[in-house]
Chains A and B, each alone.
Chain A
Amino acid sequence: MNFIKKIIPMKDFTLKSLMTFEKTPLNILMFILTIGLLGAFGWGVIEYLIHSHHAYNVTREHPWGLLIAMYIFFVVSSTGLCIVGSLGDVFGFKDYMAMSKRAILGSIVTILAGFAVIAFEIGHPVRMLIYNVLSPGLTSAIWWMGTLYGIYLTFMIIEFIFLMRNDMKNARIFGLTGLLVGLAAHSNLGGVFGFLNARTISNGVFYPTYFILTAFITGIYLTYLMYGFRYKMNFPEEIKKGLIGLAKIQTLLLAILMFFETWKMMTGIYGGMPGRADVVEHILHSGGFVYGEVLCGMLIPFVVMLTTKWKSINLYVYASFIGMIGIFFMRYDLVHDTQVKPLQMMKLTEYQLPPKWIEYFPSAAEFAIGFGAIGIFFMLYYFGQKMFDLDGGDH
Chain B
Amino acid sequence: MCYNTHMNIIETSRRKFLQGSVSLCIYATSALSSPWQTTKTSNKKTTDTPYLCNMCRNKCAGYARVENGLITKLNPNHNFPKSRNMLCPKGNAGIQAIYDEDRLKYPLIRIGNRGDGQYKRATWDEAYEYIKEKLVKIIDEQKDNRSTIAYCNGEGFNKDEYIKFFGSKLGSANFLDEGSICLNTKLGATQLTIGDVGEMDVAGSDYMIISGANRYESLITPDSVDMIHSKQKLVVLDPRCTVTAIKADEYLPLYPGTDLAFCLSMMYIAFKEELYDKKYVNEQFDDFEKLKAHILSQKYTPEWAESKTHIPSQKIEKITREFFAASNPLYYLGRRSVWSQNDFQLRRAMVLINALAGSVNRKGGIIFGQPIKLNDEEINEPLYNNAEGRFDLDGIVYGSQKGGSWLNFREKVVSKTAPYPVKAMFIRKHNLMQNMPNIAKTKKMLEMMDLVVVLDTMPSDTAMMADVILPECTYLEREDMVVSFNRLEPSLALRNQVIESLYESRSMQDILKGLGKKLSVPLFHVSAKYDEDLQDSIKEDGLHKAFVEGGYDMAELYGYNTTQRNKRLITKQFGKEVYNSLKEKGVWYPYMDEQKELFNDFYEYYPPEKRFYTIDKKYRVNAYLKKLEKAGFDAMPTWHKYYDFNLHEDEFRVITGRYVTTTQSATANNVMLKDFEKENYLWINNNNAKRLGIKTGDSVVVMSSVSSIVIKANPTNKIAPNVLWIPHGFGIDSQEMTNAYAKGASDNMIIEDKFEKIYGCATMHETNVTLRKL
Contacts and interface: CB of A to CB of B under 8 A. Distances in A.
A351 B676 contact: no
Interface residues of A, number: 4
B697 interface: yes
Interface string B470-483: 00000000000000
Interface string A348-359: 011101000000
B696 A350 contact: no
Contacts of A349: 676-677
B339 interface: no
Nearest to A352: B696
Given A349-B677, A350-B714, 8 more contacts: A349-B676, A350-B681, A351-B681, A351-B696, A351-B697, A351-B712, A351-B714, A353-B696
Nearest to A353: B696
A349 B679 CA distance: 12
Contacts of B697: 351
A69 B517 CA distance: 74
A351 B725 CA distance: 14
Contacts of B714: 350-351
Interface string B664-686: 00000000000011000100000
Contacts of A350: 681, 714
Interface residues of B, number: 7
Interface string B31-73: 0000000000000000000000000000000000000000000
A350 B681 CA distance: 10
A351 B695 CA distance: 11
B202 to A, nearest CB: 26
Interface string A330-342: 0000000000000
Contacts of B677: 349
Interface in B691-748: 696-697, 712, 714
A351 B714 CA distance: 7
A353 B697 CA distance: 11
Nearest to B680: A351
Q: Is the contact region of chain B dominated by helix, strand, or loop, or is it mixed? A: loop
A351 B712 CA distance: 10
Interface in A155-187: none
Nearest to B243: A350
Nearest to B696: A351
A351 B682 CA distance: 10
9 contacts: A349-B677, A350-B681, A350-B714, A351-B681, A351-B696, A351-B697, A351-B712, A351-B714, A353-B696
Contacts, number: 10
B192 to A, nearest CB: 39
Interface in A336-378: 349-351, 353
Q: Is the contact region of chain A dominated by helix, strand, or loop, or is it mixed? A: loop
A349 B677 CA distance: 8
A344 to B, nearest CB: 18
A351 B744 CA distance: 13
Contacts of A351: 681, 696-697, 712, 714
B322 to A, nearest CB: 32
A350 B727 CA distance: 13
Top 4 A-B pairs, shortest CB-CB distance: A351-B681, A351-B714, A351-B696, A349-B676
Nearest to A348: B676
Interface in A209-240: none
B684 to A, nearest CB: 12
Nearest to B727: A350
Interface in B645-676: 676
A54 to B, nearest CB: 10
Contacts of A353: 696
B98 to A, nearest CB: 26
Nearest to B677: A349
Contacts of B696: 351, 353
Nearest to B676: A349
Contacts of B681: 350-351
A353 B681 CA distance: 14
A349 B696 CA distance: 13
B470 to A, nearest CB: 37
B7 to A, nearest CB: 26
A234 B524 CA distance: 110
A353 B712 CA distance: 15
A350 B712 CA distance: 13
B443 to A, nearest CB: 30
A74 to B, nearest CB: 33
A351 B697 CA distance: 8
B754 to A, nearest CB: 30
A217 to B, nearest CB: 45
B450 to A, nearest CB: 45
B680 to A, nearest CB: 10
Nearest to B697: A351
A350 to B, nearest CB: 7
A350 B697 CA distance: 12
B218 to A, nearest CB: 15
Contacts of B676: 349
A350 B714 CA distance: 9
Contacts of B712: 351
A349 B712 CA distance: 15
A263 B676 CA distance: 45
Interface in A37-52: none
A86 B677 CA distance: 61
Nearest to B659: A350
A350 B678 CA distance: 12
Interface string A110-122: 0000000000000
A355 to B, nearest CB: 13
A347 to B, nearest CB: 13
A349 B697 CA distance: 13
A227 to B, nearest CB: 52
A186 B690 CA distance: 53
Nearest to B681: A351
A27 B453 CA distance: 77
B700 to A, nearest CB: 14
B429 to A, nearest CB: 29
B677 to A, nearest CB: 7
B647 to A, nearest CB: 25
A350 B682 CA distance: 12
A351 B698 CA distance: 12
A52 to B, nearest CB: 12
A346 to B, nearest CB: 15
A44 B681 CA distance: 38
A365 B697 CA distance: 29
A349 B661 CA distance: 12
A353 B696 CA distance: 9
Interface in A303-349: 349
Interface in B82-101: none
A349 B676 CA distance: 7
B722 to A, nearest CB: 21
A54 B697 CA distance: 25
A357 B347 CA distance: 49
A351 B677 CA distance: 9
Interface in A188-206: none
Nearest to B718: A350
- Please indicate which of the listed interface residues A349, A351, A353 has the most CB atoms of chain B within 10 Å of its own CB: A351
Nearest to B678: A349
B34 to A, nearest CB: 13
A273 to B, nearest CB: 31
B719 to A, nearest CB: 12
A118 to B, nearest CB: 26
Nearest to B679: A351
A125 to B, nearest CB: 23
A350 B241 CA distance: 13
A349 B673 CA distance: 13
Interface string B549-573: 0000000000000000000000000
A132 B333 CA distance: 66
Nearest to B712: A351
A351 B713 CA distance: 9
A348 to B, nearest CB: 9
A349 B714 CA distance: 12
B243 to A, nearest CB: 10
